[in-house]
Chain A
Amino acid sequence: MLTIKKLHAGVDGKEILKGIDLTVKPGELHAIMGRNGSGKSTLANIITGRDNYEVMEGSVIYNGTDLLDMSPEDRALAGIFMSFQYPVVIPGVNNTYFLRAALNARLNHHGLKEMNAVDFMHLIREKLKLVQMDEKYLTRAVNDGFSGGEKKRNEILQMLTLEPTFSILDETDSGLDIDALKIVAEGVNKFRNNERSFLAITHYQRLLEYMEPDFIHVLIDGKIVKSGDKTLAAELEAKGYSWLE
């Protein structure tokens, strides 16, 4: 599904990722763990195509094409999704409108008929239940006045609605209380199947207690220094990262 090869990348000429190799197969959930500044978010930004980041070397092949040659919106339309660590506020644009525009862009891209407002309301009401969000949400502006927990649930709601094949969860657990964390993890778990893949970026193993990873990779100073199965998380929790340096 997604193969990253010898990826060197950074910002302003400063190299942050120093040779990443990673293969994610359909249906797998990979967790990337590491301290602040280890390059986790840079990796997410490179995959999704954020401006200002430069790739010095390497490739990110997704279903046979190099993502690095595509615009951010084309990557999204091809099935790449990111749950943002800091979702952005868009005043005056209501959630329903925004999410329908995003869904219709996708339908359009695949040559399918756009969804009308009535059908969309049916769809979104179903999805709202999955993340236990109130219908009032629909008339509010995108992330405007949302609490931290609401923002993260909104990200998951968008994922459930847009049905991407490769989802990056960038620090989705940060700022969540335990109840919200369970709701979010539940949403992701229901969404998992043998075709959809995930890359969960996190500091802590907490999230992984609710969302079982197939693989865990430890990122230190722009390199994956250790990979393992889910037991690695507990080891990291007990010993920290320093033993890997």
Chain B
Amino acid sequence: MPSAPAAAVQVSLCKTMAKSNPIIDSAISQEYEYGFVTDIDQETIPPGLNEDVIRLISSKKDEPDWLLEWRLKAYRQWLKMKEPNWAKLHYSKINFQAISYYSAPKEKEKLKSLDEVDPELLETYTKLGIPLEEQKMLANVAVDAVFDSVSVTTTFKEELGKAGVIFCSFSEAVKNHPKLIQKYLGSVVPATDNYFAALNSAVFSDGSFVYIPKGVRCPMELSTYFRINAANTGQFERTLIIAEEGSHVSYLEGCTAPMRDENQLHAAVVELVAHTDAEIKYSTVQNWYPGDPKTGRGGIYNFVTKRGICTGDNSKISWTQVETGSALTWKYPSCILKGDNSVGEFYSVALSNNFQQADTGTKMIHMGKNTRSTIISKGISAGKGQNTYRGGVKIMKGAENARNYSQCDSILIGDECGAHTFPYIDVRNPTAQMEHEASTSRIGEDQLFYCNQRGISTEDAVSMIVNGFCKKVFNELPMEFAVEAQKLMEVSLEGAVG
């Protein structure tokens, strides 16, 4: 098992259907490695959603009144909203009343050290290869693990504390740093931003909070690991990262879930705030259960709202994602480039194999002068997978000399998958410079034959070709995760070519 959560990110494009190719069909029988269920005492509230459920969640978490009000306001707004249907995703309607909105490992007394964590739980994380135990200290990764709805433990708290960095569960932050939470919660993704963000705002259970003080370069990679375990449970976490002036942080999230027949809902919100001269690098390796490879049953519905604001001058936010999991992915990590000279980046690899569908991309909103954004999106479709890149670049009136470079490439494996691209460009300042490149290609019989003729097996050839295709994005991942991402691509593509 990898030392870090494997995961996948989104990909893209081009309204092209692959043509049939006799050598490349069939199979696509990757096995999902993380499909185990942990037998642990859970406290799960009955399915259903109403104001009482929200009050119950809030009281379980001992929240202040303002937060309960905030939740209720989001819920009331959500009731008036319509589930979006513009994405290129086909699925049967979600029954929001059939979902349980809170599940937690029982006996959640305050844990002082890892020794007190349920051994079953630790076992789970060991299986997942997460460096939870202190012995893995050398890995220099601080991990906050969210198991179903509750944050279980945060490692390296002390060492981070010395640097003045706050890295804790969201619930702890509400208790210990209420002013920061009150100031920033919903400041980038308002509670009523969209249907799924509103739902999250109403029922979110936990998540991670990061605060990097002025001038501090965070001494290690920060990492959150999300695991859905309980059946019929939604996971709704929130992540909030604040980088004060001149600070720097690199953050990684990974996700897995057990194999279950029914679909499970994951609707997260991530908010990033970068002040003057600050830099946030956010990497995701998403490997939620993609559903049964043969029937398409089960799998995670992943509806995520991720957005960062470069509020100060010369700040930078960089999203990197490798999305290989989930039955459905609906995700558009975005940057609001408000400060002058601020920089937004989006590097994405999204793989849809078997019955997976991904509709993902980014939005870059240029407000400040001399703002720059880069979008590199690599989509891989195999099996019956459908992969859509949807990206928006908006240059506002005041954004003098803004620049954007977009590159959206898709690769198709087999003849039953699809790649689609929807780039939206809105320029309101004539000084803007925009570049957009897109390509769609197929792993061709000729490429495979060329490799075969050199003695390279078809399986090795496919992984070589796909990794070559994803190189620009993998280069953006922290070193050890780049290696994991490569391996993950290999596993996810196993048998994709017959």
Contact = CB atoms under 8 A, between A and B. Distances in A.
Interface of A: 48-52, 71-73, 76-77, 81-82, 84, 87-88, 90-93, 97-98, 101-102, 105-106, 109, 141, 158, 162
A90 B464 contact: yes
Given A90-B468, A92-B471, A98-B464, A105 B456 contact: yes
A3 to B, nearest CB: 21
A50 B464 contact: no
Instruction: Give me the 10 closest cross-chain CB pairs, A-B, nearest first.
Output: A92-B468, A93-B468, A102-B454, A72-B452, A76-B455, A88-B450, A105-B455, A92-B471, A73-B452, A51-B23
Interface centre among B455, B457, B468 (most CB of A within 10 A): B455
A72 B464 CA distance: 18
Contacts of A91: 468-469
A51 B22 contact: yes
Interface residues of B, number: 25
Interface string B415-449: 00000000000000000000000000000111101
A162 B91 CA distance: 51
A90 B458 contact: no
B449 A50 contact: yes
Nearest to A77: B455
A90 B449 contact: no
A87 to B, nearest CB: 7
7 contacts: A73-B452, A73-B456, A76-B454, A90-B447, A92-B471, A105-B455, A162-B454
A219 B449 CA distance: 25
B162 to A, nearest CB: 40
Given A92-B469, A98-B464, A141-B468, A158 B449 contact: no
A84 B452 CA distance: 13
Nearest to B458: A73
A73 B455 contact: yes
Interface in B450-468: 450-458, 460, 464-465, 467-468
Nearest to B378: A92
Interface centre among B457, B465, B468 (most CB of A within 10 A): B468
A101 B452 contact: no
Contact of A101 (B453, B456, B458, B472): B456
Interface of B: 22-23, 444-447, 449-458, 460, 464-465, 467-472
Given A93-B465, A98-B464, A88 B446 contact: yes
Contact of A93 (B449, B452, B464): B464
A76 B453 contact: yes
B351 to A, nearest CB: 16
A137 to B, nearest CB: 16
A49 B458 CA distance: 13
Given A77-B455, A90-B465, A101 B450 contact: no
B22 A101 contact: no
Nearest to A102: B454
Given A50-B449, A51-B22, A72-B449, A109 B455 contact: yes
Given A81-B453, A82-B453, 10 more contacts: A51-B23, A73-B452, A88-B444, A88-B449, A93-B467, A93-B468, A97-B464, A101-B464, A102-B451, A141-B468
A102 B457 CA distance: 9
B33 to A, nearest CB: 25
Contacts of B468: 90-93, 141
Interface centre among A73, A76, A106 (most CB of B within 10 A): A73
Nearest to B466: A92
Nearest to A92: B468
Contacts of B23: 51-52
Contact of A51 (B445, B470, B471): B445
Given A51-B23, A51-B445, A88-B446, A72 B467 contact: no
Contacts of B457: 73, 105
